[in-house]
Structure formats: structure tokens, C-alpha cells
């Protein structure tokens, strides 16, 4: 009976440590991450998602694309994404890349290619529409399911629409993307993490070789950059020479 306080304390400590490990450390590490303002381009990164792309993100989530596609590029010691052909990106994905995503679609299985930079490699919307309508159009061995329900067949009235897909269809009809398909393709085209954050590169690639300019003595350990206030991070980025000892 008199062991009750001990059991309670034990349970409390287990929960407190799990919470600190899972929630607190991440909050301290990433909670203060802010978009980076690039003075030369007069623009913040990551950029705000345009309206149709944001709608497309909801379609992507709704249709479960994340069951087969990840959105996380892993290079260096974590994976071969930067060396495979075609490359899945020019650099690793950083936590900051996802700041504007209302729901982060990291995914867990890679049945298909990583899509975090699909907008950088597939720049042609027509090809993306075709891929969604009939993934096997270019290669019959491709296994992605068809999303042809995102398209509709309509009788041609007057001039054929410039958006009509070049697919076999009954005479006098055309296949057009529905607003959901248009939004989804806008979202896919918007997926490109190509911006190089000046203060980010050391943070997510631990095995990177030391930089040529040595950091100030007693400088922050790897990973500590994230707890900087956005203002100080921006100042550091603006004046890299000031770090000279």
C-alpha cells in the first residue's frame, strides 16, 4: 500500500522524460525556426504557397499520395537521393523547408520516387496531367495507379480546349482536368526546395567537412543554430565576415 507514491513517481518520471524527449527537445530545436529573408532577392524563403498550390496540397493529402511517395530528400550518410539518377534533389531537405506546409507530407514508403523536388525535374504540366491520367502512358511497366477520375470527358463545343489531354477518346469529345487535377498539378509544380539557406547547411548534414572559415572560438555546437532567434540568424547571414576571430 505504502508503495503507491513510489509507483506514482515512477510513472510520472517515465511520462515526463518521454514528453521531454519527444516534444520538448524538438520544440527547443525547431520551434523558433523562421523563414529566411534574402536581402538581395528581397524575398523570404521558403516562399508562401500560391493559392492553387495550397488547394492542391489538400488534394494530395486527400488522395493518399503520401502512401507511396515521400517528400524528404536524404543525402550524405542518410541516403543516396542526391546521387541516384535522376537525382531527387540538389541538397538535403531541411526542417525549414516545411515551414509553410500546413500539413507536412513526409510519407514513409518509397514505392514511387520522392516528390519534394518534383517541380524542379518535371516542369511540364502536360506531362504531369498525363501521368496522373494514365501513369503507364510512357512505360507500360509503371505501376502507379491511375487517377483518371480527376479528369472528365466533355463534348467539344467550338474550339478544342488548350488544356485537353492528348489521349485516345471518342470522336467529338475531349478529356479535361477537373479543378482538383489543376490544383494538384499546381502543387506538384510548386514542390522545389532549391534555395540554399546560408545558415542551414551545417545543421542537417552532420558528416559535412569543416568549412574553410573556422567558426568563432567556443562557437555553438552543431545543431545549435536552430535555437538562435530569427533576428540573430538573419544578422549572421548578412555579415558572415563578422564571425572572424
Nearer to ligand HEC, 36 or 131 (CB): 131
Q: Which residue is nearest to ligand HEC (CB)?
A: 112
Please identify, among the stretches 29-37, 62-70, 157-165, 210-218, the one whose residues bind ligand HEC according to the rule CB under 6 A: 62-70
Who's near 14: CB < 8 A, 6+ residues apart? none
Whether residue 177 contacts residue 185, with contact meaning beta carbons closer than 8 Å, is answered with: yes
Our finding on whether 112 is near ligand HEC (CB under 6 A) is yes
- CA–CA distance, 229 with 10 (Å, rounded to integer): 36
Name the residue nearer to ligand HEC (CB basis): 66 or 234: 66
Whether residue 101 contacts residue 54, with contact meaning beta carbons closer than 8 Å, is answered with no
Q: Which three cell numbers stand for residue 94?
A: 531541411
Nearest CB to ligand HEC, comparing residues 91 and 180? 180
Could you tell me the three cell numbers for 107?
510519407
What character string, x for contact with ligand HEC (CB under 6 A) and - otherwise, covers 204-233? ------------------------------
Cis peptide before 53 (omega within 30 of 0): no
- Which of 188, 191, 203, 233 binds ligand HEC (CB under 6 A)? It is 188
Number of residues that bind ligand HEC (CB under 6 A): 23
- Phi first, then psi, for residue 110 (nearest 5°) are -115, 65
Q: How far is the CB of 133 from ligand HEC (least distance, A)?
A: 11
Residue where the block lists cell 567556443:
218
**Quick check: 181 binds ligand HEC (CB under 6 A)?**
no
CA distance 7 to 20: 20
Q: Which stretch binds ligand HEC (CB under 6 A): 140-148, 196-204, 210-218, 225-233?
A: 140-148
Catalog residues that contact ligand HEC under the rule CB under 6 A.
60, 63-65, 67-69, 111-113, 118, 121-122, 128, 131, 135, 142-145, 147, 184, 188
Amino acid at each position: 500500500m505504502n508503495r503507491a507514491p513510489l509507483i506514482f513517481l515512477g510513472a510520472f518520471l517515465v511520462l515526463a522524460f518521454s514528453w521531454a524527449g519527444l516534444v520538448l527537445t524538438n520544440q527547443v530545436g525547431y520551434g523558433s525556426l523562421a523563414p529566411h529573408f534574402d536581402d538581395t532577392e528581397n524575398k523570404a524563403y521558403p516562399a508562401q504557397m500560391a493559392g492553387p498550390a495550397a488547394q492542391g496540397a489538400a488534394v494530395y493529402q486527400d488522395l493518399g499520395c503520401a502512401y507511396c511517395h515521400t517528400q524528404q530528400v536524404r543525402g550524405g550518410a542518410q541516403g543516396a537521393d542526391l546521387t541516384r539518377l535522376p537525382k531527387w534533389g540538389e541538397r538535403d531537405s531541411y526542417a525549414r523547408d516545411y515551414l509553410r506546409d500546413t500539413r507536412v507530407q513526409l510519407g514513409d514508403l518509397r514505392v514511387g520516387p520522392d516528390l519534394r523536388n518534383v517541380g524542379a525535374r518535371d516542369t511540364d504540366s502536360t506531362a504531369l496531367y498525363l501521368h496522373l491520367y494514365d501513369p503507364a502512358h510512357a512505360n507500360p511497366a509503371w505501376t502507379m495507379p491511375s487517377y483518371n477520375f480527376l479528369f472528365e470527358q466533355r463534348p467539344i463545343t467550338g474550339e478544342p480546349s488548350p488544356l485537353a489531354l492528348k489521349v485516345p477518346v471518342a470522336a467529338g469529345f475531349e478529356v479535361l482536368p477537373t479543378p482538383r487535377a489543376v490544383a494538384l498539378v499546381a502543387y506538384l509544380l510548386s514542390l522545389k526546395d532549391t534555395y540554399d539557406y546560408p545558415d542551414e547547411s551545417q545543421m542537417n548534414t552532420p558528416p559535412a567537412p569543416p568549412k574553410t572559415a573556422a567558426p568563432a572560438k567556443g562557437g555553438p555546437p552543431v545543431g545549435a543554430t536552430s535555437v538562435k532567434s530569427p533576428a540573430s540568424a538573419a544578422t549572421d547571414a548578412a555579415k558572415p565576415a563578422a564571425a572572424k576571430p
